């Protein structure tokens, strides 16, 4: 067996404040997605399907749920000689005693691990995107161009680039890619039209050098600092053009929309076809009984997983394992996480409900109370919602709210802590 040549490092340490209560107790990479998986499963499955088996995960914020989910890496066949998953949290030693100060600093602080792995190329990935990609094609293009850095990019709608790192790419290789002619990180009116997907393939010696140089700065991010530094040095930087589906999960709206893209007659995301794997031991997914659909129940354009019991109506929704929907209840345009129990005669619209929440009877969520809101309602984990409660559109409920803090009604857009 030949020793693998690629080391992949997944950036999975951040919280993403925009995901609100969904990331109170977990990093964004560990947020449940698609009825049974976690967001990081897409990066891990892409690596597995691309034949890349040396993987490091850089984790910092609330690491436990991520560590618990990854386990020993066996779910993605990353266990054995010359292959495996290593989780690299911040550490204290004789030279450093602080947290990771950014994505680039996280890799810098683990350069001993990187150099020990002796890779021929280092692949840096974000752990919070939804997509399917064969990284071996990116690496092949990287070698073909003898690039110091290859950035995977996708053309996006004009006028939306201020939220992303944007590159200008020439037409040297047509639809495959070309030389990066400009790069701007999350700036107004960027020159380029190609958004960086935070899939970066480096020559190791170039990565080592630029990370060392960056240590004299006060900012330590790949997009904001490392790529512009390499551009200013005249390094050989190429853009690989990606034309497939790409789901961004930084905000609640984007996360909800990516889940909705699993539904319909022609879904934009096909997790089976993409070969997405997850750790079926996490939360006992593999041990649930088959879903039970009652004789009077209705299920329309929805995904319902093992362990669910549906006696009511589910439309345009995703139910994770262990969810129960009582008689006369309607769940619509919603994402309901593991082991939620919904009582009888409830109406739940456009809601994300975190794990282990219990709803009584005659509860309504997503109704118009006060101002109309187009936002998604979010119920934090381990809540017990009393009978008859009405929650307006776009409300946010903190996790484990104490019983005495529950009013009968919460107006649209309000936050209940």
For residue range 21-54, list pLDDT tens digits in order: 999 999 999 999 999 999 999 999 999 999 999 9
pLDDT at 1 over 50: no
Percent of the chain whose pLDDT exceeds 70:
98
- Per-residue pLDDT band for 217 (boundaries 50, 70, 90) equals very high
Phi, psi of 23 (to 5 degrees): -120, 25
Question: Which residues is 250 bridged to in the sheet?
Answer: none
Please report where in the chains the tokens 């484990």 appear, as a residue.
400
pLDDT of residue 160: 64
pLDDT of residue 373: 76
If we measure between CA atoms, which residue out of 333, 363, 350 comes closest to residue 393?
A: 350
Digit-coded pLDDT (tens) for 129-138: 999 999 999 9
pLDDT at 3 over 70: no
Contacts of 48 (CB under 8 A, 6+ apart): 76, 77, 78, 275, 277
Q: Among 160-169, 358-367, 373-382, 402-411, whose mean pLDDT is lowest?
A: 160-169
Digit-coded pLDDT (tens) for 63-81: 899 999 999 999 999 998 8
Write down all domains in the chain, each with its CATH number in brackets.
6-260 (3.90.550.10), 290-416 (2.160.10.10)
Chain mean pLDDT for the chain: 93
Report the alpha-carbon distance of residue 71 to residue 86 in Å, rounded: 10
pLDDT of residue 161: 56
Q: What would the two tokens of residue 213 be?
A: 């140089």
Report the alpha-carbon distance of residue 236 to residue 225 in Å, rounded: 16
pLDDT at 215 over 90: yes
Report the alpha-carbon distance of residue 265 to residue 257 in Å, rounded: 16
Question: In residues, how long is the chain?
Answer: 417
pLDDT at 219 over 50: yes
- Are 16 and 132 contacting, i.e. CB atoms less than 8 angstroms apart? no
Digit-coded pLDDT (tens) for 273-332: 999 999 999 888 889 999 999 999 999 999 999 999 999 999 999 999 999 999 999 999
- Per-residue pLDDT band for 56 (boundaries 50, 70, 90) equals very high
Q: How large is the average pLDDT for residues 225-249? A: 96
pLDDT of residue 159: 65
- Are 350 and 335 contacting, i.e. CB atoms less than 8 angstroms apart? no
Digit-coded pLDDT (tens) for 191-207: 889 999 999 999 999 99
- Per-residue pLDDT band for 268 (boundaries 50, 70, 90) equals very high
316-335 as b/e, with b when 16 or more CB fall inside 10 Å?
Answer: bbbbbbbbbbbebbbbbbbb
pLDDT at 212 over 90: yes
- Per-residue pLDDT band for 95 (boundaries 50, 70, 90) equals confident
Digit-coded pLDDT (tens) for 115-133: 999 999 999 999 999 999 9
Report the alpha-carbon distance of residue 345 to residue 353 in Å, rounded: 17
């Amino acid at each position: 067996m030949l020793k693998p040549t690629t080391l992949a490092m997944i950036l999975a340490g951040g919280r993403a404040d925009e995901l609100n209560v969904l990331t109170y107790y977990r990093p964004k990479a560990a947020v449940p997605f698609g009825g049974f998986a976690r967001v990081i499963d897409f990066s891990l499955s892409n690596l597995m399907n691309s034949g890349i088996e040396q993987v490091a995960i850089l984790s910092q914020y609330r690491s436990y749920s991520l560590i618990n989910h990854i386990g020993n890496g066996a779910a993605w066949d990353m266990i054995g000689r010359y292959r495996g998953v290593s989780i690299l949290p911040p550490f204290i030693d004789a030279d450093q005693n602080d947290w990771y100060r950014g994505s680039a600093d996280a890799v810098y602080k683990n350069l001993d691990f990187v150099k020990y792995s002796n890779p021929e190329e280092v692949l840096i990935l974000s752990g919070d995107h939804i997509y399917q990609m064969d990284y071996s094609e990116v690496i092949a293009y990287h070698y073909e161009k003898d690039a110091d850095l290859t950035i995977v990019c996708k053309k996006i709608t004009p006028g939306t680039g201020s939220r992303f790192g944007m590159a200008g790419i020439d037409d040297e290789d047509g639809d495959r890619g070309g030389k990066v002619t400009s790069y701007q990180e999350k700036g107004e009116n960027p020159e380029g039209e190609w958004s960086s997907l935070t899939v970066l393939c480096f020559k190791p010696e170039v990565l080592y050098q630029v990370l060392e140089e960056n240590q004299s700065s006060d900012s330590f991010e790949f997009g904001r600092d490392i790529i512009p530094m390499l551009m200013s040095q005249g390094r050989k930087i190429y853009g690989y053009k990606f034309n497939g589906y790409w789901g961004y999960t930084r905000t609640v709206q984007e996360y909800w929309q990516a889940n909705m893209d699993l539904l319909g007659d022609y879904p934009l995301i096909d997790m089976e076809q993409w070969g997405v794997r997850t750790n079926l031991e996490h939360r006992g997914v593999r041990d649930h009984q088959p879903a039970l659909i009652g004789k009077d129940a209705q299920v329309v354009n929805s995904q319902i997983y093992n362990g669910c019991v549906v006696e009511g109506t589910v439309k345009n929704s995703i139910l994770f394992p262990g969810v129960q929907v009582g008689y006369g209840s309607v769940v619509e345009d919603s994402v309901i996480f593991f082991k939620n129990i919904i009582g009888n005669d409830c109406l739940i619209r456009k809601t994300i409900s975190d794990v282990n929440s219990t709803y009584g009877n005659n509860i309504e969520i997503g109704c118009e109370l006060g101002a109309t809101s187009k936002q998604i309602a979010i119920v934090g984990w381990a809540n017990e919602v009393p009978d008859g409660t009405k929650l307006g559109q776009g409300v946010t409920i903190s996790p484990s709210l104490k019983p005495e803090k529950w009013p009968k009604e919460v107006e649209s857009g309000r936050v209940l802590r």
